[in-house]
Amino acid sequence: MDVVLLFPGQGSQKPSMGKDLYDTFPAARAVFDEADRVLGFPLSTLCFEGPTEQLTLTQNAQPALLVHGAAIWSVLRDKLGAAVRAAAGHSLGELTAYHAAGSLSLADAVRLVRRRGELMYESGVQRPGTMAAILGEPSESIEAICAKATAEVALVSPANYNCPGQVVISGEEAGVERAMTLAKAAGAKRAIKLNVSGAFHSALMEPALDGLTHALNKASFGDPAFPVFANVNARPVTAAVDARELLRRQLTSPVRWTEEVAALSKAFPNATYVEAGPGAVLVGLVRKIAPAVRTMTCGTAAEVTQLLELAA
């Protein structure tokens, strides 16, 4: 069985995430315990018990999701490692993919992601902004709508090309609101403001670039054992030097998830696409982008056990 690993991004976190993994698998327990030691606070308790408002904070949600994905992979690695053909992750999830590919140790990955979340939160305070999901197919392109809203009111740009009919925009609040109005006037089904602490994947994240560059340079990167497809250009990454640069650029660039999944499904049409994380957000998007490929969710102890049995 060929496998493509998928790791979710911010928004998939929820209290109780990982508790059954921790209780069931010693390898997963070791991952959560090491993350607690590295960070110097009980991230595991936050994952298992919440409260939701604390877990949702960018600087907490990002390491929580990485550690959850790493815990799942620690259990799957021995039986499934040789079957993995590639990996990808949505925004933060791309760093989890590099950990799974052996590019980053758990300690380096946890420290890097915690710092990334802190920097993104601080940028949101320094340059306030917001994000919105545009659903449906407006008669005018999202790029043209954002350009018009930027020229008329304030900065806004595409942030996540999630799947056909679902694009997230990001920027200054007035610009985002104007783009929402323009999108609905152009035939979009819905335009929904997101509950976020900043304008992620936009130019408003530029204050975080120096800090992220320093954190990326401080982390010890190795070449990935299997290709990791990048959000920035939807292409496979096989060298550590490229991973660092693309992760830096990712901060202010749109996530090209639609292109990424299309490229993966073309390269690995017969693989099983496994979402290693809480929920099924990425599996849902994959089904809309490449409906012919096989998908599985793998976020609970029961789902991990099921996948191990399939791989036996």
**Which tens digits make up the pLDDT trace of 21-31?**
999 999 999 99
C-alpha distance from residue 201 to each of 131, 171, 190, 252 (Å): 10, 9, 21, 4
Which of the residues 12, 44, 91, 202 is marked catalytic? 91
Rounded-to-integer distance, Cα 163 and Cα 256, Å: 9
**Looking at the predicted structure, is the pLDDT value of residue 311 above 90?**
no
Q: Is 91 a catalytic residue?
A: yes
Which of the residues 68, 90, 99, 201 is marked catalytic? 201
> Is pTM beyond 0.75 here?
yes
Rounded-to-integer distance, Cα 310 and Cα 293, Å: 17
List the 228-229 sheet strands across, edge first.
236-237, 228-229, 84-89, 3-7, 272-275, 294-297
Q: Which two tokens stand for residue 52?
A: 């939701």
Q: 37 with 67: CB under 8 angstroms?
A: no
Q: Is 201 a catalytic residue?
A: yes
Q: How confident is the model at residue 82 (pLDDT cuts 50, 70, 90)?
A: very high
Closest of 223, 259, 221, 227 to residue 3, by C-alpha: 227
The residues with which 274 forms a beta bridge, in sequence order, are 5, 296
Q: How confident is the model at residue 255 (pLDDT cuts 50, 70, 90)?
A: very high
